[in-house]
Amino acid sequence: MARYNLKALTKRKHKVRDILFLERGSLMIRKRFISLFILIVGMVLLLAACGGGGKTKIAIGPPASATNTMSKVILGAYGIEDGDYEEFQEGFGDAADLVQDGNIDISVGVLGLPAASIESLQASTGDVILLEIDEDKIAQIEEESGYQKYIIPQDSYDFLESDVTTVAAYAVMVANTDTIDEELGYELARIMVENASEVTHAQAEHMTLENALNGADGLPLHPGAARYYEEQGISFDNPIAELSADAGSRKDEFVLGTGSQGGTYYPLGGEIANVWNSHLDTNYTNVETGASIENLATIGEGNMDLGMTVHVPARDALNGEGEFDSPIENFAFIGHVYPEIVQVVTREATGIKSYDDIK
């Protein structure tokens, strides 16, 4: 018969029990640790998705654009300075995509009305908000920028529940006085007015004789354009630009600077170039650029023949002010294109309903 040491057996049982207790305790601790880790990760992801704790992400437009300048003027009126927000220098088309995906919170655009890119954003997300500029900020913005108060009517977009107060300027066409001779300038201005119906873009409805000199204040007129407007009975007191361009040495290919593909300049400028191509024996190619400031600077460098720009930076370029360290003197006004309206979009998902919500 086997003999057992009961005392030793009892000790072994207690030891096994202790080991099992410790293992179960260790397992519970691991489970709790894993649960806590999952909870923390979930909270981090949730905060990241909501932008919690971080700076507001704002697309202020390409570096050499009127949008970029106006973004800083408007934000500055609210005491929001560089460093107070995370800056993205995107064109409005790319910026709208980032707003749609939730990767940025706000996008600033200087666009025609309605803007197809904003309509597309609303169609994709269903929660677009247009931020309104408060009345007490308008005067400061007007003084600093040259833009003027503008009311976006409620019926401009389906998602608006009321009119929206903002500011606007004029988009104009300017020409390089070293490459666009008088006769060519005459034809470019004439075709923009008389053949505007051939341009299908919605903003072409503003290219009328009545609007032809909108945005021309303070700018020299191209002598060819001036002659056309005089023939149409339009009076003006603008100075007439001096030309070095000569019809006898006119080239065959001309470059038109527009803007980013997601904005208004690029598609509208492309259609205007096509209309010129249909009625003239010279060729016009529109190119994507950073818009106003880049177009003016490139004309000044002699690397562009025509450019679309907001009238305010055009005046700055002429006087060597604002973004321009020295005057650009080799450009002249050809004609008005359309009103440029500052439109600042965000989404309900960001929780931003006014500039005061930007942190």
pLDDT (0 to 100) of residue 11: 53
Cβ atoms of 244 and 177 closer than 8 Å: yes
**Rg from Cα positions in the chain:** 31
Answer yes or no: are the C-beta atoms of 248 and 300 closer than 8 Å.
no
Cα torsion through 50, 119, 64, 173, rounded to 10: -170
Divide the 359 residues of the chain into consecutive groups of 10 and give the mean pLDDT of each group.
47 51 53 56 47 80 86 96 93 90 94 90 96 96 91 95 96 98 98 98 95 95 98 97 97 97 92 98 97 96 97 96 95 96 96 92
* Structural domains of the chain ordered from first start: 57-168+343-357 (3.40.190.10), 170-339 (3.40.190)
What is the per-residue pLDDT for 50?
Answer: 47
Predicted structure pTM score: 0.69
In the prediction, which pLDDT does 51 show?
A: 44
Residue 35: predicted pLDDT: 59
Show the DSSP H helices in 113-255 as ranges: 116-125, 135-145, 182-194, 223-231
pLDDT of residue 66: 79
Contact 341, 264 (CB under 8 A): no
- Which pLDDT belongs to residue 89? 93
Q: What is the pLDDT of residue 249?
A: 96
Alpha carbon distance 99, 90 (integer Å): 11
- At 118 the pLDDT is 94
Distance CA 66, CA 148 (A): 14
Query: Are the beta carbons of 239 and 217 closer than 8 angstroms?
Result: no
Q: Which pLDDT score is estimated for 14?
A: 53
